[in-house]
Structure formats: C-alpha cells, structure tokens
C-alpha cells in the first residue's frame, strides 16, 4: 500500500477544470517530486491533497494510509499527518524565530477554547529537536523572522511544519527565489528530514535541483500527468525534460 494515492482526481476552480484524471502515488520513506512549469497544476494538486478550498475535488479519490481522505476537512487531513509548507512561506515577520516556532503550541492552547484540533501529537518535533535540525535557526532565535534571508525563512517554514506530527511533508516550491548556494542548504535540510524517515512530496519548477534529491518524479502539464518514473529515468529522458521542464 502506498502512503498517499491519488486516483483519477479532477479538480476545479469554479467552472475551470484544472486537474484532469490525475493519478499518482507516494511511497513511504521516499522523496517524490511533482515537477512542471508555472501554471501546470502543482499547487492545485497539493491543495487538493490537503483539502484546501479552492479547488474543489469533484471526481476521483485521495487515499492516505489506505483511508479515503477525499472529503475530509483541512484540519482532519492535517491531523492524519500531512503537512503542507505553502509557496508563500508564511512566517510571521514581526515575531522572532523562537515565537514562530512556538506558534503551533499557542494554536493548540487556543484550540481548546475554540474546539479546533491542531495536531501536535508525540510524533511532532519538539522545539529543541527543531533547533538541532536547523542550527541556523538556533543561532537566530531572537531575531525577527522578517529579517531572515529567503533560505532561512524557508527553513523556518519547514521547521514549523515539522512541529506537527508529520508522516508526509509537502513542500511547494521551496527553492523559489533562492540563490544556488542557499538552495544547497535547503536541499541538505530536506535530505536530513527524509533520512529520518519523513516521506516528502516536493513540488518544484526547478527540476534539476529537485531531481537531485528525489527517488521518483512525476511531471504535470496542463493539469495532466505526463511522466511518471524514477529520478534517474527522468534525468535520462531528454525529450520530457526539454518539452515540459525546459531543462
């Protein structure tokens, strides 16, 4: 059984039909990439999985650990162990690094009052584990998040996601806007997280960088999966790379 399975998923923004018959799977323990040009449907796929609205999934099935999660709420999907770090790396610029990292806890305490569930079970990383994992954040605990570099903000966004119990970490264009040297740092962090057993679904336009750390890859174009294979197969498939990825 795959950790995550999408079977013939069709997603819409209003009447705009975006994802067409998307089927893909992510196996436990792997780094799987979903690659494609701007506007191909990558973010829409991640938002469909995490039950963000929009888009609406009108057809098909999304399964996580064998359970049909297609119609669950975002909170329930997150409680099952799926974390999404969105494209915009939402950190709170006026809060310090430490405050940003403590936020899930604050949210949990509030959730008791509001009756909402924020998933911080035993499997989520403790703040100290997070600082061990991201020494750069440790050095900058008291710095306002808004003053961090793009790469450091990305790490902070990932660190925050890992404070929740995460079996599947979905990263939406973590390398966007980062210099090559910084990409290497984020790449190394993602690899360490993967080595510790967290399954990763990595969405990128930067196919070359993503292929580097992936076991398998899918390519999406105009809302349809057009390639599915190992990272090595994609590396060797010049036609697919040129046609859909421009590399």
Query: Which residues of this chain interact with ligand ADP, rule CB under 6 A?
Result: 13, 16, 18, 36, 38-44, 54
**Cis peptide bond N-terminal to 24, omega within 30:** no
CB of 140 to Mg ion, least distance (A): 28
Output 124 or 223, the one with its CB closest to Mg ion: 223
Q: What angle do CA 108, 122, 173 make, to 5 degrees?
A: 75
Report the C-alpha gap between 37 and 243 in whole angstroms. Answer: 10
Report the C-alpha gap between 100 and 160 in whole angstroms. Answer: 7
Size of the site for Mg ion (CB under 5 A): 2
Specify whether the CB–CB gap between 166 and 129 falls below 8 A: no
Output 11 or 165, the one with its CB closest to ligand ADP: 11
Output 64 or 244, the one with its CB closest to ligand ADP: 244
CB of 228 to ligand ADP, least distance (A): 17
Output 23 or 143, the one with its CB closest to ligand ADP: 23
Q: Per this entry, what is the length of the chain?
A: 247
The one of ligand ADP, Mg ion, none whose footprint includes residue 41, by CB under 5 to 8 A per kind, is: ligand ADP
Specify whether the CB–CB gap between 204 and 175 falls below 8 A: yes
CB of 87 to Mg ion, least distance (A): 5
Output 39 or 146, the one with its CB closest to ligand ADP: 39
Answer yes or no whether residue 43 interacts with Mg ion by CB under 5 A. Answer: yes
Q: Is 227 helix (H, G, I), strand (E, B) or coil?
A: strand
Sheet containing strand 4-13, strands side by side:
16-26, 4-13, 56-64, 67-68
- Give the E-state strand segments of 65-150 in sequence order: 67-68, 82-85
Answer yes or no whether residue 48 interacts with Mg ion by CB under 5 A. Answer: no
The one of ligand ADP, Mg ion, none whose footprint includes residue 198, by CB under 5 to 8 A per kind, is: none
* Binding-site ranges for Mg ion (CB under 5 A): 42-43
């Amino acid at each position: 059984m795959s950790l995550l399975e999408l079977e013939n998923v069709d997603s819409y923004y209003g009447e705009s039909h975006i994802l067409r018959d998307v089927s893909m799977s992510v196996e436990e323990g792997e780094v799987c990439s979903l690659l494609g040009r701007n506007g191909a449907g990558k973010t829409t796929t991640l938002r469909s999985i995490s039950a963000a609205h929009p888009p609406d999934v009108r057809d098909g099935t999304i399964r996580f650990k064998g359970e049909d999660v297609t119609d669950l709420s975002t909170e329930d999907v997150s409680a099952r162990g799926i974390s999404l770090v969105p494209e915009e790396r939402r950190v709170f610029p006026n809060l310090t690094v430490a405050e940003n990292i403590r936020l899930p806890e604050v949210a949990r305490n509030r959730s008791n009052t509001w009756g909402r569930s924020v998933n911080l079970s035993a499997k989520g990383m403790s703040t100290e584990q997070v600082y061990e994992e991201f020494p750069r954040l440790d050095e900058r605990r008291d710095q306002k998040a808004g003053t961090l570099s793009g790469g450091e903000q990305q790490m902070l966004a990932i660190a925050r996601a890992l404070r929740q119990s995460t079996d599947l970490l979905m990263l939406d264009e973590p390398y966007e806007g980062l210099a090559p040297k910084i990409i290497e740092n984020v790449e190394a962090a993602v690899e360490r997280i993967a080595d510790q057993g967290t399954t990763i679904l990595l969405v990128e336009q930067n196919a070359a960088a993503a292929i580097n750390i992936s076991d398998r890859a899918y390519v999406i174009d105009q809302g349809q999966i057009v390639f599915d294979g190992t990272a090595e197969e994609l590396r060797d498939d010049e036609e697919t790379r040129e046609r859909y990825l421009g590399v």
